[in-house]
Chain A
């Protein structure tokens, strides 16, 4: 008799369990018919270096995003040797109107992002002048110091979810790459 009773209880419990799951697993879908813009896209990177009236602008632009036509590099002119520039980077999504300033999103999530600047031109050093909420550099505001004349590349990398703090190299930071552009520059 006891067995039968416990059997009934088990059946009842099982039924209860099943009906709970059935009611939980139903959910509603909603939808409208607009098509999507590429909201997350970065189309344009501008790195502006200023020393008084000496302004050098490095720009990469790929308006149709990944795929399609390749992006284009525009470099306004050579950098001056043995000069200290203050640098500011700006990321835009120009498929939106007005253009969406992605730099602000990066700044808001400063602890999850970091820019890395490397150059093959000897004597160029870049230091990061801004900090996230934990006191680690972000790299939107920078100081670039040139050495003697030379030519080479300046590579800018933006990492999402890097290890922070790191030893200053993008390799050590890990994370996933949101941006990787390489400008051919010359110092005169």
Chain B
């Protein structure tokens, strides 16, 4: 406004003294979407150095123009600034379209209140929180959200879990690309570098159709940052050092943005840890080494834009040496012993067993807006995932992986957002995907997951209708077709007798039989329908209420269909079944939220009924040359999972604040009337923080977390004969570890550094009291305790 007055004042004091200067320019400003008039926009006339304002009909008039070029810069509250030029050689009338949707300009603001959809039940973590987890994994960062837990293999392989569901029941979408990285394995953590993202949103409700039909657990959206169109070069670096594991991370990011709308960004991190330490001993062979990098380049304007993104994640995880066991009697020995069988001094060596995963992700996306319609975006993405797992082996095979899989995924998708009607927004799109798994030869073992080709095609439509100012209704439907064509060798006895496949699937057989193995070509096609319905209402006093229903269907994944082999750390043989059907889930979720920094909360109950829930359970014992092994097989039951997530934040004084959360969950196997395996137990957190902006933004917080013992678990314990002791021994694989409480301390200070930069120092302590504990959801809980105390120092520089 001030500028306007100055501009007007300047304009009045100006004299025009050109010769042919009596043309008139009539302009009209309209909204791009619905063509409504834009009133009170400021128009700066460059040639006249003059400001004018559009009237109620969006019109404006410039008189006494000379022939030549006229350049107008139009600004309006909530609009993208637009500059246009016209040639003037006569009286002229022009309609100029402006964009007044603020959400397209969510540049710098990190706003956790901005939902992906109006009716969505979700929670987000912003960059600041992510930076605290710079040297941890995605699963660790997500663990801070109520209702989200993780299934771990040791301390570094962390698989996120939403409401007790994980692996193929969660969709992980990184930069609008659905992650495909052999997520079906329990010990396969998602290959995401938390440092490459700006915010992460966990959608617990039903608003997931745009990304897939199978989000029975939920959706994890990893989002990059949008940049403002200004000429700027900035970056940040983080160095984090830890006492436990004697390692840390260095991460750097540099961004260059241009006024024209172009931007480019590059980021890389290097992380290394040696053997971690439980309170009483080193966890021999538990370190890791990661190299991650990502880059993107793009152009954004209101009407069109593109983004090209590439990221590479190279992870090497050591797996606790003591977890490699030969048979059930070794497992019994591990369960009965209080300590791991191998305890050595600290080392940075990553020895066998270990995992080595290389994940490439590349995408290119482009969009264009059409008047009186909306925004069309088209995206192609490609991923290559190479997973090598090394075990303790004999002789020449010592350095050869036991698992070597390469998964190649290609997707082409489009989305059309129709948003020209004021209250109605429609997203509709199609997707085609081709996936190829290659069980790379040379491992010297028959592959756990066979070679396969998978084809997918989907179409969806989601509509959001604003009933009135305070309430929205959302509905969507999606159809998915998928076809899987595999090639696998089956043991002839298994094929003909154990599973009776020769009668069930004679069409899969080929005539090739060698070494008592039959070559088969299983082929499956699936048709899936999924849907969602959502309602949201804003109430008085910053309160809002959300109700969601979702129908989700999931096709059995390759591991559930085909896996066949020995799992060393579990001392069991895992067998997939070709007879598995798809899972169908009905999800109901609701949420009552109060969004207020003084006192806010969210109370979110949910209920899920899953028909033909696929689970892995023990079915018997087989005798091998290594002794007895339990056989675990995938089967299907009906299941239900329900619970409630509660979050509270309260400002105690200006400087002291409290935050708390509670997650309660029950999972039931309805067919057998027993609890479901691996369900998170009740847990709650409390934190008290102190903030003083005047004192270098000093922040101190004390955090407490308690995880109660899971008393509801299925009893899959069994007896096995120990030929040395000449007696049956009890194998207690089901009992759950006792409750535990952990305390941690965080503190940080910020300083001004360089010209515009900041320097932030952090000092943190995890597990302050060096508490010895075990977690039910850690697959290696039989072999060692969880991590002990850790001191962490972080230095962050923004420049």
Contacts and interface: CB of A to CB of B under 8 A. Distances in A.
Interface string B460-474: 000000000000000
B252 interface: yes
B87 interface: no
A177 B492 CA distance: 27
B566 A66 contact: yes
B447 A36 contact: yes
B489 interface: yes
B724 A4 contact: no
Contact of A27 (B358, B445, B755): B358
A19 to B, nearest CB: 8
Interface string A40-72: 101101000000000000001011111111110
Nearest to B721: A182
Interface stretch (A8-16, A78-86, A122-130, A134-142): A8-16
A108 B566 CA distance: 25
A4 B233 contact: no
Interface in B481-506: 489, 491-494, 498
A157 interface: yes
Contacts, number: 189
A31 B327 contact: no
B68 interface: no
A60 B755 CA distance: 77
Interface string B288-306: 0001110100000000000
Contacts of A118: 723-724
B268 A36 contact: no
Given A14-B254, A155-B724, A60 B406 contact: no
In the complex, which range does the number of interface residues on chain B fall in? 35 or more
Contacts of B593: none
A140 to B, nearest CB: 14
A29 to B, nearest CB: 6
Nearest to B629: A66
Q: Which of A27, A40, A181 has the most CB of B within 10 A?
A: A40
B54 interface: no
Contacts of A37: 444, 515
A116 B358 CA distance: 41
Q: Which of A68, A153, A170 has the most CB of B within 10 A?
A: A68
A27 B406 CA distance: 14
B312 A7 contact: no
Contact of A176 (B253, B267, B325): B325
Contacts of B324: 176
Contacts of B314: 25
Interface string B199-227: 00000000000000000000000000000
Contacts of B291: 21, 24-25
Given A14-B237, A68-B491, 16 more contacts: A11-B799, A15-B266, A25-B293, A29-B440, A32-B441, A35-B489, A66-B566, A66-B624, A66-B629, A68-B516, A105-B394, A116-B724, A118-B724, A120-B726, A159-B326, A170-B724
List the 9 closest pairs (A to B, CB-CB), nearest first: A177-B326, A180-B627, A39-B444, A182-B723, A105-B395, A176-B326, A68-B491, A18-B268, A14-B252
Interface of B: 233, 235, 237, 250, 252-254, 266-270, 291-293, 295, 312, 314, 324-327, 329-330, 333, 341-342, 358, 386, 392-397, 406, 438, 440-447, 489, 491-494, 498, 515-516, 564-566, 568, 573, 575, 622-627, 629, 631, 723-724, 726, 754-755, 757, 797, 799
